[in-house]
A and B are shown apart, each in its own frame.
Chain A
Amino acid sequence: MANIDTLAPDAEQVAENPVAGIDQTRGDFKYDVTYAFDAGIGLNEKTVDYISAVKKEASWIREFRHKALKVFESMPMPTHWATKDLDNIDFTKIRYYLSQGQKPKRTWDEVPDDIKKTFERLGIPEQERKYLAGVEAQFDSEAAYSNIKDIVAKQGVIFVNSTEGLREHPEIFRKFFGKVIPTADNKFSALNSAVFSGGSFIYVPKGVKVAQPLQAYFRINAENFGQFERTLIIADEGAEVTYMEGCTAPKFSTSTLHSAVVELVALKGAKIQYITVQNWSNNVFNLVTKRGVAHEEAEIKWIDCNIGSRLTMKYPGVVLKGRKARGEVISIALANDGQHQDTGAKMIHAADETTSNVVAKSISVGQGRSTYRGIVHIPKHLKGCKNNTECDALLINTNSRTDTYPSITVRGDRNSVQHEASVSRVNEEMIFYMQQRGLTEGQAMSLAVNGFINDLARQFPMEYSVELKRLIDLEMEGSVG
């Protein structure tokens, strides 16, 4: 896996880094894996045919993949606005599909001690630790998943992986698939469209309110993470559903490129809440396209927390298509050394009386960099539309960096927009104050950061916000001294 070597942070640089913390070692986690059946290295038409054949797909979807490959090849890297770091992705060295059930050959004894310690301190159960460390390809959560699946199935809810969704429910799948995010939306949505595997397909029938959140954590663990996940969630009229993906535990990945596409469709009066907590190891390029369409009086809310990765580019969006539709993005990003969180939101108003709300908070630690990019679009012919955007950045160290690129287009005089942005540095007097009460500098920093995101963290489900707090404590440990 030469590509990992190329992309891992330079060892010397890490050693000299004065703010090096325990996560420095995360990205160095690598091991040899033998794949008996995979699509090989590199990307061409054969790769696409291979994936499609393995999945026994219908010809329309194979066509779809081939078209997408051409689009991907024809599109340039978006480096005219995004970071040049994207040019370091070598598409010819990536494995685009691994067959399931191939277990990495690694024993628990070979897992570095500090990583074991990290798991311990995050309070991750023994079974899950082995999975996350790559010792076990599968985590035994099959039972938990099928339990949820059975409960919701009684309400007529479909909750399966995207491959199964395509095969078993083509009539619903095909109607919505690739409609919210067209293949050519961007280079990485095209890539995903060509080689996608994994991800969820959810359909919630009319008027059904799913009481418990559907957790991809269980499902994905049960069948291994995909690099190019494709998720499609449809909430029919008046339906309500909450979906949660990811977990706060560091996810050690052998692959350096993860590029998911998530499409949400909330039909009239429906509500979808999509919660993500991601903590990739810092060799990973995490380039994700997430968008939803909210029809009349529907509501889509993205709650997104990004920690880790080398570069994350993710701007969850809502197209407010029907009258009185509501869209919301709540986003937390933490960029530590060697990490760039390039995140934000897109709100496209396309009907009268639509409202959108964006609250983004970012924390830059050490040499970490966070970027906020936002688009709010309200055309002239609409009336009664409202947008509120708040983005706050917190810088921990003097070499931390943050940038904000908001783009708000509001035409006409019958709409209203509010925008607030702030950048603050952790106040030394505040840290002294906390230390005077007996907290160490690190504990004081953690508390300050947790306070900074507290109003957003409260919107996460309880177990996630508890994990988030622990994770921030860990991330902050390396930031002082």
Chain B
Amino acid sequence: MSSLVIKDLHVAIGEKEIVKGLSLTINSGEVHAVMGPNGTGKSTLAKAIAGHPDYTITQGDVLMGGESILEMETDERARAGLFLAFQYPSEIPGVSIANFLRAAVQARMAEGEELDATGYYKRLYSKMDLLKIDRKFTSRAVNDGFSGGEKKRCEILQMAMLEPKFALMDETDSGLDIDALRIVAEGVNTLRGANLGILLITHYQRLLDYIIPDFVHVMYDGRIVKSGDKSLALELEAKGYDWVKKEFALA
């Protein structure tokens, strides 16, 4: 068992502080949902942990398996087992999903070690079968001209292939119709297991109808202001974010 520990994290974009002292521990096997109104710092949290160069961590620490990852490059963090499912995944024209994933898998191998192509494709196809993804999908260029749903499935497939220890899923439900949402949620549920810790960032409660979280946190103004179990999400749904804002303003 491992854990992703976020300790009193402060994140700024330029001079502006967005995340203002956030602490959270995610253990393997757990699914944590972070909810909150727009502009509250949810996506900033995910990107900063992944090491996006636009975000500066001004205070606090992030530990994975007991080691701080803040000095590591984005790709080192990824190879150490951190995965970010993007809200808006980039398009990579001319690079097929199969080749992209192959490069990513190869990057995780020791220098001089050669990837076994047959074994790779076998594994890729078994993951695709598991996620009910058509074989033709991986010959398309990464996210190039994809619909919102296809982009999210591509993220889930990458997550399945790279087998991270911790996955940060940033607004995985944004831009999806209800069918696409269900497909993506099924994918996440399939990958859910004892060796994976998930941080699920979402604005709407509806995703949590399909992915049942172990913990729900409410984020407001760069901090977690309330934590609970899945019933908290339903309470939020019923009362709306104004309830949080009001309560937080009073506190």
Contacts and interface: CB of A to CB of B under 8 A. Distances in A.
Interface of A: 427-430, 432-441, 443-444, 447-448, 450-455
B78 interface: yes
B100 interface: yes
Nearest to B85: A436
Contact of B141 (A439, A440, A444, A451): A451
Contact of A435 (B78, B92, B99): B78
B53 A432 contact: yes
Contacts of B95: 447-448, 450-451, 454
Interface in B203-247: none
B91 interface: yes
Contacts of A443: 103, 107
A147 B158 CA distance: 48
Given A433-B86, A435-B73, 16 more contacts: A433-B89, A435-B75, A436-B74, A436-B75, A437-B100, A437-B101, A437-B107, A437-B158, A437-B162, A438-B79, A440-B73, A441-B75, A444-B75, A448-B92, A451-B93, A454-B95
Interface in B65-106: 73-75, 78-79, 83-84, 86, 89-95, 99-101, 103-104
B52 interface: yes
B7 interface: no
A452 B74 contact: no
Contacts of B53: 428, 432
Contact of B107 (A428, A432, A439): A439
B140 interface: no
Interface in B147-169: 158, 162
Contacts of B100: 434, 437, 447
9 contacts: A427-B90, A434-B90, A435-B74, A437-B162, A439-B104, A443-B103, A447-B99, A448-B92, A452-B93
A240 B82 CA distance: 54
Nearest to A456: B94
Contacts of A428: 53
Interface of B: 50-53, 73-75, 78-79, 83-84, 86, 89-95, 99-101, 103-104, 107-108, 141, 158, 162
A305 to B, nearest CB: 16
Contacts of B83: 436
A443 B103 CA distance: 8
Given A436-B50, A441-B75, A447 B92 contact: yes
Contacts of B103: 439, 443, 447
Nearest to A454: B94
A432 B90 CA distance: 9
A440 B75 contact: yes
B107 A436 contact: no
A328 B39 CA distance: 52
Contacts of B50: 436
Contacts of B74: 432, 435-436
B84 to A, nearest CB: 5
Contacts of A430: 90-92
Contacts of B101: 437
* List of 9 A-B pairs having minimum Cβ-Cβ separation, nearest first: A451-B94, A454-B94, A433-B90, A451-B95, A435-B74, A438-B78, A437-B104, A430-B90, A435-B75
Contacts of B89: 433
A451 B92 CA distance: 7
Given A432-B52, A447-B100, A451-B95, A438 B90 contact: no
B137 to A, nearest CB: 17
Nearest to A448: B92
A440 B79 CA distance: 10
A115 B79 CA distance: 31
B91 to A, nearest CB: 7
Nearest to B77: A436
Nearest to B86: A433
Contact of A434 (B92, B93, B94): B92
Contacts of B79: 438
Contacts of A451: 92-95, 141
Contact of B78 (A436, A450, A454): A436
B52 to A, nearest CB: 6
Nearest to A434: B92
A89 to B, nearest CB: 37
A453 B91 CA distance: 15
B94 A453 contact: yes
A438 B101 CA distance: 10
A429 B90 contact: yes
Contacts of A433: 86, 89-90, 92
B196 to A, nearest CB: 16
B71 to A, nearest CB: 15
Contacts of A454: 93-95
B94 A452 contact: yes
Nearest to A432: B52
A330 to B, nearest CB: 15
Contacts of A429: 90
Candidate in B79, B89, B92 with the most chain A CB atoms within 10 angstroms: B92
Contact of A436 (B84, B93, B94, B141): B84
Contacts of B51: 435-436
B93 A438 contact: no
B153 to A, nearest CB: 16
A102 B36 CA distance: 78
A455 B107 contact: no
A120 B92 CA distance: 30
Contacts of B99: 447
A439 B99 CA distance: 12
A438 B80 CA distance: 9
B83 to A, nearest CB: 8
B92 to A, nearest CB: 6
A307 B13 CA distance: 40
A436 B80 CA distance: 11
A412 to B, nearest CB: 36
B128 to A, nearest CB: 17
B194 to A, nearest CB: 23
B143 to A, nearest CB: 9
Contact of A450 (B94, B107, B162): B94
A464 B50 CA distance: 37
Nearest to A455: B94
B135 to A, nearest CB: 20
Given A432-B53, A432-B74, A447-B100, A438 B92 contact: no
